[in-house]
Amino acid sequence: MVNKYGRRRWLLFTVVFGMIPIFFRLSTYLFLNDAGSFQPFTASDFIALGIVLQVSVFTEMKYTTSDDDHWRQLFTGCAALFLTLFSAFYLLVLFSELGTNINLALILKVTAGLDFVSVLLYLAVYDRITAATAHAQLREVP
Amino acid sequence: MNTAIIVVSILAGAFGLILAGWSIVNTRKKYYEDFLKRTSVREKLRLPR
């Protein structure tokens, strides 16, 4: 039950801004005449998007109502888990620059998949907050 | 290393998918009547949809 304006604002501020590194890298790749070893997608950009999404989930938790503690704890724990994972993957990307044998293509695929799950989690959080807010407004109706 | 990355990611992704699905279903159940009434109340109060 995400309303039209809320979804637009969310898309603009969270997803689109989080994807700016991906857009910039992709556009640079497309306009380069000789790309050479320059990659159109890298794991670090997807990791940045995932961290932005999960931090947004953390900040949205303050809008939840007090009777939703169980749900809030579950989502806070999940966001912490995903943040830890993304941080660990970023560490692996940094280690790969030292010449360590790390499969960056695998990390790219894995982080893209986790980003998709992060978007679904954020939609679930937004859905809950919208419903709870509407419910609270209804209570105030005489 | 690669196997560990795949296993951990699949576990975390599955947990996230299940949690998101459960949350959406739970929200529908918890606020079901609210969803039914909201449209009529908004019309009554002349609030934007």
- With CA atoms as reference, the chain A residue closest to B9 would be A110
* pLDDT for position B13: 94
Contact call for B23 and A135, based on CB within 8 A: no
* pLDDT for position A60: 80
The mean-pLDDT minimum among A36-40, A52-56, A133-137, B45-49 falls in: B45-49
Structural domain range at position A13: 4-136
Provide, as residue numbers in chain B, all residues whose Cβ is less than 8 Å from the Cβ of A4.
Answer: 49
Tell me whether residue A115 is in a domain. yes
Three-state SS at B46: coil
SS3 per-residue string spanning chain A? CCCHHHHHHHHHHHHHHHCHHHHHHHHHHHHCCCCCCCCCCCHHHHHHHHHHHHHHHHHHHHHCCHHHHHHHHHHHHHHHHHHHHHHHHHHHHHHHCCCCCCCHHHHHHHHHHHHHHHHHHHHHHHHHHHHHHHHHHHHHCC
Backbone φ/ψ region at A102: left (φ over 0), alpha (ψ -120 to 50), beta? beta
Averaged confidence pLDDT in chain A: 84
Summarised one tens digit per residue, pLDDT across range A112-139 is 999 999 999 988 888 888 777 777 766 6
Tell me whether residue A142 is in a domain. no
Contact call for B30 and A110, based on CB within 8 A: no
- CB nearest to A141's CB, from B23, B35, B41: B41
Tell me whether residue A8 is in a domain. yes
pTM value? 0.81
* pLDDT for position A1: 43
* pLDDT for position B45: 65
Decide if A41 contacts A22 (C-beta within 8 A).
Answer: yes
Tell me whether residue A141 is in a domain. no
Count of domains observed in chain A: 1
Summarised one tens digit per residue, pLDDT across range A61-95 is 776 666 678 888 899 999 999 999 999 999 999 99
Q: What does the pLDDT profile of chain B (49 residues) look like in tens digits?
A: 888 999 999 999 999 999 999 998 888 888 766 566 666 666 666 665 5
User: ipTM of this complex > 0.90?
Assistant: no
Shortest Cα–Cα distance, B26 to chain A (Å): 9
